[in-house]
């Protein structure tokens, strides 16, 4: 299977609850390797731009408030089938519907404060990685 890159955010509820290490260890156990990482706090402008496709949704303001409410860990994850594997281990958007053992089942507080972001396709992954990382910030290990 092909080695892919995907984009992940450990969201503010997880960083504030001190779950960065717990979530990273789930990535590592599933053979997803970190190819780039930044610990930062998003500006409103950056968060609004990232979620621009949701601009008309009723929860957009709440989503931007949440994503700028604390630090985030931005990551490029790399591995076999990384995009879909990451979506599987994240679990459903709504933690009430997330499978046992998934990151959202373990660490999400609600459908909004749901612990992690992960790209939903290879095209999204490329767009999202380029939104947060320069090409030379992605470390090539293979």
Q: Which residues are catalytic?
A: 117
Residue 5 makes contact with ligand GDP by CB under 6 A = no
Least Cβ distance, residue 79 to ligand GDP (angstroms): 19
Which of 28, 35, 31 shows the shortest CA–CA distance to 6? 35
Q: What H or E segment, with its residue span, contains residue 67?
A: helix 60-67
Angle, to 10 degrees, between the axis of helix 82-90 and the axis of helix 20-29?
130
Strands 33-40 and 3-10: unpaired
Selected binder of ligand GDP within 31, 62, 88, 97 (CB under 6 A): 62
Strand-pair partners of 34: 77
| Residue whose CB is less far from ligand GDP, 79 or 91 | 91
The two tokens of residue 43 are 């500006």
Residue 80 makes contact with ligand GDP by CB under 6 A = no
CA separation for the pair 55, 134 (Å, rounded) = 25
Least Cβ distance, residue 72 to ligand GDP (angstroms): 12
Residue 121 makes contact with ligand GDP by CB under 6 A = no
Selected binder of ligand GDP within 25, 40, 43, 93 (CB under 6 A): 93
Q: Which residues would be at the binding site for ligand GDP (CB under 6 A)?
A: 59, 62-63, 93, 111-112, 114, 117, 120
């Amino acid at each position: 299977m092909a080695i892919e890159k995907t984009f992940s955010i450990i969201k503010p509820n997880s960083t504030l609850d001190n779950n960065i290490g717990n979530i990273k260890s789930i990535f590592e156990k599933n053979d997803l390797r970190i190819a780039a990482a930044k610990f930062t706090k998003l500006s409103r402008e950056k968060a609004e731009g990232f979620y621009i496709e949701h601009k008309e949704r009723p929860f957009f303001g709440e989503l931007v408030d949440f994503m700028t409410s604390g630090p985030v860990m931005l990551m490029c994850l790399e591995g076999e089938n990384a995009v879909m594997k990451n979506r599987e281990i994240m679990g459903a958007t709504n933690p009430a519907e997330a499978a046992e053992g998934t990151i959202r089942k373990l660490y999400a507080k609600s459908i909004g404060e749901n612990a992690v972001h992960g790209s939903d396709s290879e095209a999204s992954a490329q767009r999202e990685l380029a939104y947060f990382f320069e090409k030379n910030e992605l470390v090539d290990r293979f």
